[in-house]
Amino acid sequence: MIFLKYWHRVSVFTTFLFLALFFPLKYSYPDQIQSERLTKESPVPSVVEEVVPREKKWYFGSFYDLGNTVQGHRTGDWQEIDGWLGYKFDKINVYTSFSQLRRFHEKDYTNSLGAYFNLNNYYIHEEVGAGWDVDFIYKFQNILEISHKLYKNLFWQIGYNYRNYSYNDNYLGYPGLIYYFGDNYISANYGATHIESRGTGQFGTLKGSFALNNRLRWSLGTSIGQWLYDIYGLSPEKEYGYIGFTMFNIQLFRGLNLGLGYSYSMENPKFIKRSFDCSLSLEF
């Protein structure tokens, strides 16, 4: 009887320890992807003026994030594949996009519909999207970004991203400034992520893009702060880290561009992500 009594206590303890170590790694908390995308994507005015074709009507693009991660004592795949197709009207550019996201052996999918507007020095981006076969991604999201010229080549920009997850609603706001000089730009954003019932995390993003010659462009960016990924569902004071990103974009032919890059991310208590990035865009 004494043996059974102590065996029961040991089994309860080991079960609790197992859940504490492994359950958070099964995505009991939603996957935050917007912080990393904010680090890598171009500001709205640059998308309207540079990424979206000026002459041709149709444009197509794809992005591959081929990464792996260390999460606790687990290692595995952490990948994203994006594809989009768009059409340019006079000053409106509409697009639809599809994404597949893989976290270890789980796969989620998203689809979005969006548009960029160029309205007398006001640049507006609106996007709505939904996820399905949801394990860790949002069920619904809405993005609204507005940018306007502040003084000469200096622009202000403010962005808002709402995401509805199975566990709670998330709100991300990111005001910032963009400075253009020639075919180059530097931008800085302050971001605040509010998660219902859990509080608010803060981070900062700095990025730039530089034309090295007529065919080669170098882009880089970094984000530092709290809840960049929010893997473990801890308070923002306990989940903090950084994201680093760089990419070279090569114009292979007129209207055809290839991008090759690398990113490294770290967030406490123990999350590391390394990835090789590749993009391909075509105007026709």
Domains annotated for the chain, with CATH where assigned, are 29-283 (2.40.160.40)
Query: pTM (2 decimals)?
Result: 0.85
pLDDT at 30: 58
Alpha carbons 239 and 122: distance in angstroms, whole number: 36
Average pLDDT over residues 193-211: 95
- Determine the Cα–Cα distance for residues 73 and 22; give it in Å rounded to an integer: 9
User: In this predicted structure, which of 16-30, 73-87, 132-146, 180-194 has the lowest mean pLDDT?
Assistant: 16-30
Residue listed under structure tokens 């709670």: 168
**pLDDT value at 122 more than 60:** yes
pLDDT at 18 over 70: no
Which residues touch 79 (CB under 8 Å, ≥6 apart)?
64, 65, 66, 67, 101, 102, 275
pLDDT number for residue 27: 42
**Higher local confidence (pLDDT), 278 or 44:** 278
Among candidate residues 187, 130, 137, the one with its CA nearest the CA of residue 159: 187
Question: Is residue 1 predicted with pLDDT exceeding 60?
Answer: no
